[in-house]
Amino acid sequence: MKDDIIYLVLLGSCIGFGQFYRKFTDPEQRKLVGTGVGLLVVLSVSGFHMLHMLFCYLVSALLIIYASRKVCHLACFGFMFGYLFFFRSLSFLGYDAPPGHTNMIQMILTLKLVGLAFEVNNAYTKSKTVADGQKDTAAVAQPSLTEADRALLKLSMLDIFHYSFNYVGVLTGPYITFKTYRDAMYLPFSGKADCIGATVDKLKVIPLYAGLFLLVSYIWPLQYATSAEFYEERSFLYRLMYVWPTFFIFRMRIYTGILLSECVCTMAGVGAYPKLAGSKPGHGPSRDDYTTTATEDSSPLEYDFETVRNIDVINTERCWTFREAMKYWNMCVQYWMAMYVYKRFPSKKYRTLVTLAVSAIWHGVYAGYYFCICGAPFYLPIEDLYVKLFLNDATGQKRTVLNVLCWISKFFAFSYLGIAFLLLTVDKIWYYYSSVYHFGYVLWIVLYGAGVLIAKQRKANARREAKAGQDGAKQD
């Protein structure tokens, strides 16, 4: 709880500071103040461990600026994820382990610096395409470099330093691109958007999630799942169902933390864009002409903070399937994983597995992260199979019943896999799963086998019916 209290105090301070931060209209002043506060936050939770972040910044910045832009993103990816692994292995090497909040700072810094290297690579590739198009007089239409692209191609060490350590998102995110950061510095949207209103809307629901977290964790603490009484005196059914409250506690904790981190952004005006820009979580505006349209339009514009929206709590809870729920969870990080791992990985066959493996590595070195995150690809085909077999064609009351069953299955899968994420170590995970006879995995294997047989039977019936129809037509 001590770490949680420190976390809440820091986030609360950063939220409050946003009201003062927005008053700086000069971009250079805003950069300096934001970076100064960010360094203070990092120093306050990390102490001398802050040297890790400074070293990572220095090496990555040198790679981004001086390495070939054809490969700088790959070099930065390898260095940052390699250092992240080393950073988390310090305790195994006999050194003091960095504080938990320092680990979160390192995680976000990894996404920022690697993401920036990919942005530079994209801008470089785009510039080459533009240059080739100018030589080709027969070309009908060619892409043009935006102001953000040109800024990426002439980055300085100081630009990267400000982006890396600005207080907005430095502690727990959400991940924002360099373009989003630059827009927050140079575009006037933070002074026009309803930053206070957007922040208050998020703060309204946080006491509910925090209260539920405290209440349920008091009644069903995670620590009880590692006690002798839990395994010796509790029934199989009790142990199996215990994953539901533990994952509920985890969700409420994550909802509270992520929404507070979003409030840091909204109060500072970071991620504010006109609604007509069509902003998406992590990505930012999906239209390139939003600045021109916003300038030329004399009528008042509506603004949103979709760019920094990291979680959709309502849709996470009420959607029917596991696959759909994944889309609403940690959306800015998912954007990063999709853009820089999934879409860039050369083998389509292994893209999903590799992306989830990178996500597990990013979360930490504990086996529980791999049990949980890498277990998802084995559950998703089962869900997809049954959705195709029964849910897609169902209507009316039957559809409602199947949706509810699918919802229960979704949260059981999340909870069953999530207990590994919380127990962390192999011995605790294996001991728990053995105590429930690996019920979840056995159930999913049986369901998948039954689903495959049903699908084959349906295909065979369809072929027989088609053949019977052909024979009948011949007889006629």
Torsion 98-330-420-252 (CA) sign: positive
Is residue 330 annotated as part of the catalytic site, yes or no? yes
The strand pairing partners of 274, in sequence order, are: 303
CA 27 to each of CA 34, 84, 192: distance values in angstroms, whole numbers, following the listed order:
10, 32, 16
Is residue 403 annotated as part of the catalytic site, yes or no? no
Catalytic, out of 122, 363, 403, 438: 363
404 burial (CB, 10 Å; 0-12 / 13-18 / 19+) is exposed
CB 271, CB 299: distance < 8 Å:
no
Catalytic, out of 122, 166, 330, 461: 330
Distance of alpha carbon 375 from alpha carbon 378, whole angstroms: 6
Distance of alpha carbon 372 from alpha carbon 357, whole angstroms: 10
Q: What share of the chain is helix, strand, coil (3-state, %, to 5)?
A: 75, 0, 25
234 burial (CB, 10 Å; 0-12 / 13-18 / 19+) is middle
- Among 413, 474, 364, which Cα is nearest to 81's? 364
Distance of alpha carbon 58 from alpha carbon 335, whole angstroms: 25
86 burial (CB, 10 Å; 0-12 / 13-18 / 19+) is exposed
**Residues labelled as active-site residues:** 330, 363
